Amino acid sequence: MCGIAGWLDFDQLTNVEPIVASMTETLACRGPDGEGVWTSPHATLGQRRLAVIDAEHGTQPMTVETTAGPVVIVYSGETYNFAELRRQLAAAGHRFRSRSDTEVVLRAYLEWGTSAVKRLNGMFAFAIWDGREDKLVLARDRMGIKPLFLHKRANGVLFGSEPKAILAHPSVTATVDLDGFRELFSMVKSPRQSIWLGIREVEPGTMMIVNRDGVREISYWRLTTESPQLDLTETIEQVTGLLQDVVTSQLVGDVPLGTLLSGGLDSSTLTALAAAELARQGGQLRSFCVDFAGQSQDFRPDALRPEPDTPFAHQVADHVGSHHTDIVLTPETLADPKVRELVVRAYDLPMGHGDMDASMFLLFQAMREHAVAALSGESADELFGGYHQFFSAKARAGTSFPWLADPHLPQYAALSPRQPSVFHPEFHHALALPDYVRDSYGSAVSAVERAPGESDLEWTMRKITYFYLTRFVRILLDRQDRLSMAVGLEVRVPYCDHRLVSAVYNAPWTMKFHDGREKSLLRSAAAPLLPHAVTKRKKSPYPSTQNPAYTDLLKIQARDLLADRQHPVFDLVDRAALKQAIHSSSPDSFGRFVLERSLELAVWFELYAPSVKV
């Protein structure tokens, strides 16, 4: 896992290496184990390395000199089928200097050209400068697990794993206009859109080819509709086999590896499979769960979280024999302004997830003391149908994205016209978020393919699943990538394997709901692996602290913010809304959201001093 950055300009580049080195340095947390910059007259590539495979010989940028010019790669991620590809390439005459998957990807490009990306199974973002043709090839994995951003210039491009790398270039101004704010606050994850003016996101499953003629986008994979060919028993067997293969392949590496274990169905299934495979290899899996000080006393069940995670995580760890660690967090740590700053800096923006972002960052930070890579159950709910919106009449009505049509978290409910706004009235009016969401939803619907003869119910459920897999899951993958890589932890996502995604997406909804519950296919595949209490457990979202001391600490910090009458955050945030949240004796979830959102936005202004165009 690494961070990459670069500058391509078809005018003559001079004194460019220090600039690209500064761009790359912003990604130091992503790659604490090494750095490098490669320079040529028109292209300069930089990389920060987190060494996971072949630490000694896998250094980057990696170059192959040909008679027609150099071919150079900077690469972030993991290609899980690299050993198979290496054998094919060796048979074709290629000779390798390392055991790294980076060299395999570079050699694959030399052998198969841009079509090589179709052969890769993994999570990746890479840039290849092909000096034989004076072109830059940028590529991103199919599901968007690894990030990649692009800024077009008159005679070339800048690129980076995160916007901060591009913003470090002296010609780029940190500017956010209304569309950027709309993207930030709407939670719709529009294709290619970033919040920063002039910086776009490379779409998952695409390549960008940059040469003297300009920039060309090529899609090499997208989520497509196929008619199902298997019955229920065969589909369960297919899912079971794919999960076993995916988890086994994602245990590759020369570094300590663990799993995120909440005690829910998704993470427990991966933990059971990984523990069994490592046991066969003579090792023991480490597992980790986040918990909160006083949770046993403070926990209050509700419709979303009927029980705490920790007892189930312990049950699974005992069942599969993992070496388990609870990461216990206090209200003081969760509300620490220094932690908030690290989270906002990791994102390059204020996401508004409050304590859930802080706890995830702190969980990853603690895990990094014991592991360099980890498996996560992210995207199983989107793939197998785990959210309550899959069963909601409001969400099935098809008037908006399901997580907005029937929201369960305050940052989504805040978009409702019936909900008071955190924003200054003039800014709120200018945003016109309902219009932005409506237009984005219309665009998303037009991208879904209906299967021949598909019933209305199956068509409705296909659309909901498509939106979750192509929009919502990308928000979660971005979150997980930024917060884990901010501490140099590589998080792998088995449920995002494109073979598994395609197979389950095209399984009929009647199979995904065959036992009358959410995630039926996954539950059936996992049943032989897990305790009965875990396979029957109801879906529970990522945990959030219920300790009132956390909100009290936010109020103290918000009072200080409110006293600063010149703070630029109040060009966006409504003072009255913040004041009401501060003085409420017992703020509801929206009141706490106002506190968290205001404080995060304030930190963002202080860190980035963005030029705001509204």
Confidence of residue 333 (pLDDT cuts 50, 70, 90): very high
Interval 158-211: pLDDT, tens = 999 999 999 999 999 999 999 999 999 999 999 999 999 999 999 999 999 999
Q: Output the pLDDT for position 407.
A: 80
Q: Across residues 406-427, what is the average pLDDT?
A: 77
Predicted pLDDT at 426: 94
- The sign of the torsion formed by the CA atoms of 490, 496, 498, 503 equals positive
Residue 414 has pLDDT above 80, yes or no: no
Residues designated as active site: 2
- DSSP assignment of 431-457, as one string? H-HHHHHHHHHHHHHHTPPPPTT--HH
363 pLDDT exceeds 70? yes
| pLDDT score at 550 | 96
pLDDT band of 518, cuts 50, 70, 90: very high
User: Is pLDDT of 56 > 90?
Assistant: no
* Region 516-536 average pLDDT: 96
Q: What are phi and psi of 564, to 5 degrees?
A: -85, 95
Omega of the bond leading into 61 within 30 degrees of 0 (cis): yes
When the pLDDT of each residue in the chain is averaged and rounded to a whole number, the result is 94
What digits encode the pLDDT tens for the residues 124-172?
999 999 999 999 999 999 999 999 999 999 999 999 999 999 999 999 9
Tell me what pLDDT residue 523 has. Answer: 97
DSSP state of 115: G
Place of tokens 């409504």: 574
- When mean pLDDT is compared across 59-63, 215-219, 227-231, 251-255, the lowest value belongs to 251-255
Tell me if the bond preceding 32 is cis, omega within 30° of 0. no
Q: What percent of the chain has pLDDT over 90?
A: 87
pLDDT above 70 for 228: yes
Write out pLDDT tens, residues 528-546: 999 999 999 988 889 999 9
| pLDDT of the residue at 570 | 97
Banded model confidence at residue 445, pLDDT cuts 50, 70, 90: very high
Q: Output the pLDDT for position 411.
A: 67
pLDDT at 1: 59
**Separation of alpha carbons 395 and 292, rounded Å:** 32
Q: Across residues 360-371, what is the average pLDDT?
A: 97
The gap from C-alpha 109 to its chain's centroid, in whole angstroms, comes to 26
Is residue 588 classed exposed, middle or buried when 0-12, 13-18 and 19+ CB atoms within 10 A define those classes?
A: exposed
| Average pLDDT of the residues in 372-378 | 97
Chain segment 295-311, per-residue pLDDT in tens = 877 788 887 788 889 99
The CB density around residue 52, as the number of other CB atoms within 10 Å, is 22
Query: Best-predicted range by mean pLDDT among 38-52, 295-309, 348-362?
Result: 348-362
Q: Classify residue 370 by burial, with Cβ atoms within 10 Å: 0-12, 13-18, 19+.
A: middle
Give the list of residues 6+ apart from residue 122 with CB closer than 8 angstroms, or none.
77, 78, 79, 80, 81, 82, 101, 141
Q: List the structure tokens of 29.
A: 């947390």
Please report the pLDDT score of residue 416 as a whole number. 66
The residue type of 570 is F
Give residue 54's pLDDT: 60
pLDDT score recorded for residue 425: 93
pLDDT at 413: 62
Tell me the average pLDDT across 413-438: 86
